[in-house]
Structure 1
């Protein structure tokens, strides 16, 4: 895909140099919608925008960790349910 530096330069064309998104996208050979999305991401995230491959924003990292924890807890719950059913079956 595109490097972080390329995205930052493209955003600067639109935001600091007052080039329209349509013109900048034509000059760079990318779709205007992609460039507008980059501009929104840069304005929303500031310096944390475009973290790169494998690098997550703090929110994304927290979400990943929480999903992992939920998955682990569900597996533990299922094991306990099966164990409880097995013990109850033996008691009858």
Structure 2
């Protein structure tokens, strides 16, 4: 049996994301309107936001800059926590 998976172009995904970001439609409403699953559209929106391809019009330039700094700090702190977990595991295994 063949696969029923559909492929979408980059332009199609970008215009779908634009419906949510710029037109203010909900993900559920936009997904129903274009005939894709809401989780699929949600992933496209998240990916576009994470890549910095879209800007939330509700944020000012100062807020956007602060958000970028906080995201960078959050990423650094997550890495530090992961490192601390690995070090703690290593010390817990040390038989001394």
When normalised by structure 2's length, the TM-score is: 0.47
Greater fraction of residues in helix: 1
Q: Greater CA radius of gyration, 1 or 2?
A: 1
TM-score (norm 1): 0.49
